[in-house]
Amino acid sequence: MNKRSADESRKRILEAALTVFAEYGYARASMRTIARQAGTSVGGLYLYFKNKEELYLTFLQEGLNDLNGRTQDALRALDEPVGAINAFIAISIDFARTHKESIILQGRELGFTFGSEFKRRFSRERRMMIENIIKKGTASGVFRACDAAEAAKVVFNMLRGFVVSMAIDEESLFTADECARLVLHGLLRRSDE
């Protein structure tokens, strides 16, 4: 099998996994169902992934790496910190809503420690993106002086709370605009400062 064909097969399997995990959840999804959805044999599936856990972790990592990539691309295109905070929040909330069934709710089913090292690294990267926006805003005088690392934790965990709320009570969810408005209200420098 050539590399291109192998890459296409792997991509097809991950797309099938998205469908199957979203429909059945992690516990009820089977490698057999994923293989059928991907149009491959179970043996063919095991050529790429040694078990369902590895397949799901790969799926999770690629999805969250995609989120980070999209966020970084958007932030590179923005020079001003207000727009960057707005973009970060909007992209995060949109991702959570778009991937609710396939990634977000599965975390509750799998428990906190599943893929924990990757999740810690992902969380650190997200917090650092926010912290850098806040530092840039503070340095430019747009944001008030604050502990950027602590403020980044507040914003990150507020967005994490949004994700948790999706699994518990969707009526409590907020819009990206309202979230950004509230965050910026606390960060923006006032004329009397």
Q: What is d(CA 51, CA 61) in angstroms, rounded to the nearest whole number?
A: 16
Q: Is the pLDDT of residue 3 over 80?
A: no
Asked which of 15-24, 109-118, 155-164 is least confident by mean pLDDT, the reply is 109-118
How confident is residue 186, by pLDDT bands cut at 50, 70 and 90? confident
Q: What is d(CA 97, CA 162) in angstroms, rounded to the nearest whole number?
A: 10
Q: What is d(CA 166, CA 79) in angstroms, rounded to the nearest whole number?
A: 32
How confident is residue 147, by pLDDT bands cut at 50, 70 and 90? very high
Overall average pLDDT of the 118-137 stretch: 93
Q: What is d(CA 93, CA 88) in angstroms, rounded to the nearest whole number?
A: 9
* Environment class of 19 (CB within 10 Å of its CB; exposed 0-12, middle 13-18, buried 19+): middle
Q: Is the pLDDT of residue 51 over 60?
A: yes
**In contact, 48 and 10? CB cutoff 8 Å:** yes
One-letter amino acid of 60:
L
Q: What is the pLDDT of residues 9-28, one digit of tens each?
A: 999 999 998 888 888 888 88
Q: How far is Cα of residue 155 from the mean position of the Cα atoms in its chain?
A: 14
Q: Is the pLDDT of residue 193 over 70?
A: no
How confident is residue 190, by pLDDT bands cut at 50, 70 and 90? confident
Q: What is d(CA 23, CA 12) in angstroms, rounded to the nearest whole number?
A: 17
How confident is residue 110, by pLDDT bands cut at 50, 70 and 90? low
Residue 143 β-bridge partners: 188
Token pair belonging to 63: 């999805």
Q: Is the pLDDT of residue 103 over 80?
A: no
- Considering only residues 52 and 111, tell me which one the structure prediction assigns the higher pLDDT: 52
Q: What mean pLDDT is reported for the chain?
A: 86
| Ranges assigned E (strand) in 24-101 | none
Token pair belonging to 69: 């990539």
Helix or strand holding residue 28 (H, E): helix 3-28
**In contact, 106 and 56? CB cutoff 8 Å:** yes
What pTM did the predictor assign?
Answer: 0.82
List the one residue out of 113, 111, 19 whose CA is nearest residue 59: 19
Q: What local confidence, expressed as pLDDT, does residue 104 receive? A: 57
Give the chain's domains with CATH numbers. 1-50 (1.10.10.60), 52-187 (1.10.357.10)
